[in-house]
Amino acid sequence: MTGLEQLLGRAEELYRDLRFTAVSEWKKRNGGLAIGFMPVYVPRELLHAMGVLPVGVMGAGDDLEIIRGDAYYQSYICHLPRSTIELGLNGALDSLDGMLFPATCDVIRNLSGMWKMQFPEKYSHYLDVPQDFDANVGGQFYRRELEEIAEELHRRGARKLEPAALRKSIAAYNENRALVEGLYSLRIEEPWRVPTHELYLLLRAGNVLPVEEHTVMLRDYRAAVLADEDRRSMDQARVLLAGSFCEQPPLGLLRTLERAGCYIVDDDFVQVHRWITGDVRADGADPLADLVLAYLKQGIASPIRYIDEQVKGQALVERVERSGAEGVIFCAPSFCDPALLDQPMAVAAIERAGIPWTSFKYAENTGQFQVIREQAGTFADSIKLWSE
């Protein structure tokens, strides 16, 4: 087995491990708290600076039968909260000392309430992020949120939040983000070198590994694929996948799209890694203020972030241009309000720009891909045949 195969094997093992063994092992080694977080974004730097392991919880994919989770939610909403509740109830998340629920949608808000009732002994916090991006309004509000989290974690045994430690953590995540961004850029240049199903596994590994270990994994992967002579270009259509920012698609779906003739050259997966664009200032006198400012001023355009209606969809058009995508596939979870309410505006923007598109929906446990394969294959063929 090559080093690259071993690395990818390890990443897939982490992805499939619904008992979060890596987290339990980290706790045994380090003795700190581990705090889960739902998609899309939490300031992992703050947790890291307090000696806490941030753990991304993104449902259970297609590997878990839902037995009790369905009873907690209406049948018509997305799948992610049911599988998350199921994980909580079946003990898979016992290694977590608490959960953060970032303000993504009403479903997550409800889930945070259920968590409080089901697991009253654990820390549970609804992270109410600002939709006003003025430092004196939304910034002050967000800072208070972060201070409250830090105070509560400290009460529960985490280290006190100190500026020097926070600066170091910001630097560690800056390095990690730059490596993720570097792989996204490499995929734009040579998509055959960085297949999306591999990149996705690396992003998912970052949900459970400490940032230092994940950074090594990203660096090793980059070196290995650059040295791999067997990766050759194929005649595939370059597409941007939009809408998969919260409930994640099953791995099989990504492999299906690639086999159907698509090079995915940009996407919304595991967005915590890319939510902040560029570096957060790591040498300021008040690093918490720098973290807040980065949230306000360096966040990506997303359906869960307020954007003036006039410019909705514009960021997507720019991403298409930047990535050299020849078309957009809107690929959102079934019944995901934020993604699907935004889609008509995004479609209008890309149609104005003359960009071809198609759309379908999935659930994290979708197991049949034949229809999607035919649709994506036809879309890829039409791009190849009729685009300029």
Cβ closer to ligand SF4: 2 or 74? 74
58 with 207: CB under 8 angstroms? Answer: yes
Binding region for ligand SF4 (CB under 6 A) out of 3-11, 102-110, 175-183, 342-350:
102-110
| Separation of alpha carbons 93 and 387, rounded Å | 48
The 237-276 contact track toward ligand SF4, x by CB under 6 A, reads ---------xx-----------------------------
How many residues in the shown chain lie near ligand SF4 by CB under 6 A?
14
Of 80, 93, 203, 293, the residue at the interface with ligand SF4 (CB under 6 A) is: 80
Question: Within 313-332, which residues bind ligand SF4 (CB under 6 A)?
Answer: none
Binding region for ligand SF4 (CB under 6 A) out of 103-111, 177-185, 258-266, 342-350:
103-111
Cβ closer to ligand SF4: 107 or 376? 107
Of 270, 336, 349, 376, the residue at the interface with ligand SF4 (CB under 6 A) is: 336
| Separation of alpha carbons 116 and 4, rounded Å | 42
Binding region for ligand SF4 (CB under 6 A) out of 101-109, 137-145, 215-223, 317-325:
101-109
Question: Within 59-78, which residues bind ligand SF4 (CB under 6 A)?
Answer: 78
| 337 is a site residue for ligand SF4 (CB under 6 A) | yes
Min separation Cβ 85 and ligand SF4, Å: 12
Min separation Cβ 103 and ligand SF4, Å: 10
| 103 is a site residue for ligand SF4 (CB under 6 A) | no
For helices 337-352 and 314-323, the axis angle rounded to 10 degrees is 70
Cβ closer to ligand SF4: 215 or 248? 248
Cβ closer to ligand SF4: 80 or 328? 80
| 107 is a site residue for ligand SF4 (CB under 6 A) | yes
Min separation Cβ 300 and ligand SF4, Å: 15
| Separation of alpha carbons 315 and 321, rounded Å | 10
The 271-310 contact track toward ligand SF4, x by CB under 6 A, reads ----------------------------------------
Cβ closer to ligand SF4: 359 or 382? 359
Binding region for ligand SF4 (CB under 6 A) out of 24-32, 45-53, 156-164, 333-341:
333-341
| 208 is a site residue for ligand SF4 (CB under 6 A) | no
Kindly report the three-state secondary structure assignment for every residue of the chain.
Answer: CCHHHHHHHHHHHHHHCCCCHHHHHHHHHHCCCEEEECCCCCCHHHHHHCCCEEEECCCCCCCCCCCCHHHHCCCCCCCHHHHHHHHHHCCCCCCCCEEEEECCCHHHHHHHHHHHHHCCCCEEEEECCCCCCCHHHHHHHHHHHHHHHHHHHHHCCCCCCCHHHHHHHHHHHHHHHHHHHHHHHHHHHCCCCCCHHHHHHHHHHCCCCCHHHHHHHHHHHHHHHHHCCCCCCCCCEEEEEECCCCCCCCHHHHHHHHHCCEEEEECCCCHHHCCECCCCCCCCCCHHHHHHHHHHHCECCCCCCCCCHHHCCHHHHHHHHHHCCCEEEEEEECCCHHHHHHHHHHHHHHHHCCCCEEEEEECCCCCCCHHHHHHHHHHHHHHHHHCC
Of 8, 49, 87, 108, the residue at the interface with ligand SF4 (CB under 6 A) is: 108
| 104 is a site residue for ligand SF4 (CB under 6 A) | yes
Summarize as ranges the residues that interact with ligand SF4 (CB under 6 A). Answer: 78, 80-81, 104-105, 107-108, 246-247, 333, 336-339
